Structure 1
Amino acid sequence: MPKIPSSSLPASGLFALAKPSGPTSMSIINDIKPLIGNSRLFVEASKLNSEGKGGKGKRKGKRSREAVKIGQGGTLDPLADGVLVLGVGKGTKSLSEFLDCTKEYRTTCLLGCETDSYDSEGAQVRLAPWKHVTRESVENALSQFRGDIEQKPPVFSALKMDGKPLYEYARKGIPLPRPIEKRPVTVLELEIVEWLGSEHEFKYPEKKFSDEEKEALAKSLQGVEGDVPVQDEVEIDAKANPQTPTAFVLRMKVSGGTYVRSLVHDLAHAVGSAGHVVTLTRTRQGRFALDPKEPGDFGCIPWEVFKKAVADTGEKDADGWTEWEREVMERLDVVE
């Protein structure tokens, strides 16, 4: 474990944790704020409250929690897991570089179903044929998504148009005043790393768009987005006797601002089907990686380390550090 000289305390810096799928990025930060705000690693001793009697695992006062700044370098959706870069103290000033940095992802696409959010957290919008899609057809289609491309953000997103979130237009059937603006991004690497076929347990979301919701979506897109299908394209008996749809795993290296969900959505359209994201892992963000291999890389702290510390900060070693503090010091990119 790298030793941080006592004269350098409290420290500022950047570190990454391995976010689990499920919680929001902000809830993760809120969970660890009491730890950060009550550690001599990041806060001046004079601003820390005394431990108090029976203080093992006890959270301390509001004053110490507010004594240091903490922020994130790019949020992850609740569904997503993987690298979440955090900045503490002066490290928060360096977080902006991680918004535009190169990132790497692994994501699983499930064919045959389109959702409003483009992932499994949303509701079914339409079903489409998928049996004709082969690995070869997907690999052939990947070429049009490599290099400098333009992406259109999902209509069910918080991006605003004329001061109103896009999802509000879509849900209320308000016609979009103009087409959704495409964004230039760069896909440096894109490949299939696993063809699951039907050997998986992924299912379509149980929640479905009603006819009224489909009509509202169609109305909001009419006239500005071209022919956007919102009706099912499969036979009724196929719904009654469904087969396990095809799924496959992609690995990609992309520029900042790339919508992985949009890429999967557009790729499914390119092979004459529909599709959505069922797993999404950010494996790298700049110099932070789940599997650090390159010179200058920093690894990620398992979420379980923090989860355990939130419940009970644990015993201190001979130098006065708890387990989570040792883990952070081992992977901390110090900012002077």
Structure 2
Amino acid sequence: MAGGEAGGGGVAARAAQKLFSLSGLFAVYKPKGPTSAAVLNLLKERLLAEAGVQTNGNKRKSQVLKIGHGGTLDSAATGVLVVGIGKGTKLLKTILAGSKKYTAIGLLGKATDTLDATGKVTEEKPYDQVTKRDLENVLQKFTGDIMQVPPLYSALKKDGERLSTLVKRGEAVEAKPARPVRVYSLSLQQFQPPLFTLDVECGGGFYVRSLVSDIGKELSTCASMQELTRTKHGPFTLEEHALHEDKWTIDEIARSLEHCMSLLPGEPSHKKFKTEHPEETAVSCEDK
């Protein structure tokens, strides 16, 4: 019995040693429902439990594992969430500013306060006049370098607090000024009124919810986002790289890190990552 316990302790010690040696970037699948922070916390709990590290709610012990994510997804959104572990957390700023791909489903004729399906309907307008050609023509206006006003319900901050928190508390919040964003490509995949499906590739700090809302206004109606899936972030794709919950083990993540780090261009040094695009990475680029 004692020998078995010692052996078990040895296995746990090796698992812990392997866990704390992990370093780099990998991707997980974020399901619909939890926040990005909740997904990250669950991942951290799973890894610490597998390594036999008992935290018992002790934050200091759980903080020995450095882990973070690059770019928030709405709780209602799904898809690729890039995770940095160990020294890999230093690479997250560049990932934030990198390109992302999304598939979004918009709904014509209804606007909400959050610009998506989770909010209260604030306006309804007829949409029967909108044709597929109208939609395709409008998309050209939202491609390239454009100006975009971030939504009030967002993770952008004012005086250290998220705008969404302030709005929910009933405080008056002014809209952030329009800022430059980049749309690399934008195409209409399906149009079944009132629903339309878009494929979007954009840069950091872009809000797909704002895009859908702006498209509605441009078509002389209104629109809100119904579903959002991030299909790619940097070199990491939903199909090939995003680990689902059943693969959240130390060994699986070690394998994923090896593969994912080989996809980064030239495997730049941490120093380069820290100094690249300072003006973009200073922004909290939560993608909604």
Equivalent in 288, 302, 307 of residue 244 of structure 2: 302
Correspondent of 1:185 among 176, 181, 185:
181
Counterparts of 1:250-269 in structure 2, within 5 Å, are 250-269=198-217
- Aligned-partner Cα distance in 2 for 1:131–1:111: 9
Structure 2 equivalent of residue 248 of structure 1: 196
Q: CA deviation at 1:166?
A: 5.3
Which of 75, 83, 86 is the equivalent residue of 1:86?
83
CA distance in 1: counterparts of 2:100 and 2:123, whole angstroms: 31
1:76 aligns with 2:73: yes
Alignment deviations for residues 76-134 of structure 1 (CA, whole Å, 9 cap, x no partner): 10011000011111111111111100000000001110000000011100101111111
Q: Distance in 2 between matches of 1:287 and 1:276?
A: 29
- Residue 45 (structure 2) aligns with: 34
- Which structure has the larger Rg over C-alpha atoms? 1
Q: What is the letter of the counterpart of residue 326 of structure 1? A: D
**Aligned equivalent of 1:124:** 121
The answer for the alignment partner of 2:93 in structure 1 is 96
Among all aligned residue pairs of Structure 1 and Structure 2, give the percentage whose two residues are the same amino acid. Answer: 37
**Kept in 1: contact 2:116–2:226 (CA 8 A):** yes
Cα-to-partner distance string for 1:248-287 (whole Å, 9 max, x where unaligned): 1000110111110000000011111111111000011101
- Using the size of structure 2 for normalisation, the TM-score is 0.75
Q: Deviations over 1:128-176 (max 9, x none)?
A: 1111111110001011000000001123445456788656579858584
Name the residue aligned to 2:253.
328
Give the whole-Å Cα distance in 2 for the aligned partners of 1:272 and 1:135.
Answer: 14
3-state DSSP class of the match of 1:141? helix
Give TM-score scaled by structure 1 length: 0.65
Counterpart CA distance in 2 for 1:171 and 1:326 is 43
Which residue identity is paired with 1:331?
S
* Contact kept? 1:155, 1:170, Cα under 8 Å: no
Partner secondary structure for residue 328 of structure 1? helix
- 2:29 & 2:157 partners in 1: Cα distance? 30
Structure-1 residue corresponding to 2:31: 20
1:9 Cα deviation from its structure 2 partner: 7.1
Give the direction of change, closer, same or farther, for the CA distance of 1:84–1:260 in structure 2 (3 Å limit): same
Q: Please tell me the residue identity of whatever aligns with 2:25.
A: L
Could you tell me whether the CA contact under 8 Å between 1:17 and 1:83 is conserved in 2? yes
Matches for 1:168-183 after TM superposition, within 5 Å:
168=166, 174=172, 176=174, 180-183=176-179
Task: Return the letter of the residue paired with 2:244.
Answer: P
Establish whether residue 108 from structure 1 lines up as the match of residue 56 from structure 2.
no
Q: CA deviation at 1:301?
A: 0.5
Letter in 1 for 2:180: P
Q: Determine the C-alpha separation between the residues in 1 that align with 2:88 and 2:154.
A: 29
Pairwise CA distance, 1:330:
2.7
SS at match of 2:71: coil
Give the gaps of 5 or more residues in structure 2: 1-16, 262-266, 271-288
Higher helix share: 2
| Cα offset, 1:305, TM superposition | 3.6
Distance in 1 (CA, whole Å) between partners of 2:73 and 2:163 is 20
What secondary structure, in the 3-state scheme, does the structure 2 residue paired with 1:32 have?
A: helix
Mark the CA change 1:173 to 1:89 in structure 2 (over 3 Å): closer, same or farther.
Answer: closer
AA in 2 matched with 1:155: L
Partner residue, 1:11 = 22
Instruction: Tell me the secondary structure at the aligned position of residue 33 of structure 1.
Output: helix
Deviates more, 1:7-16 or 1:68-77: 7-16
Structure-2 residue corresponding to 1:270:
218
SS of aligned partner of 1:110: strand
Distance in 2, matches of 1:165 and 1:300, equals 28
- Aligned to 1:23, the other structure's residue is in SS state coil
Give the Cα separation in 2 of the matches to 1:300 and 1:146. 27
Matched-pair contact (CA < 8 Å) for 2:21–2:86: no
2:19–2:250 contact (8 Å) kept in structure 1: no
What are the ranges of 5 or more consecutive residues in structure 1 without an aligned counterpart?
1-5, 41-47, 50-58, 198-245, 293-298, 307-323
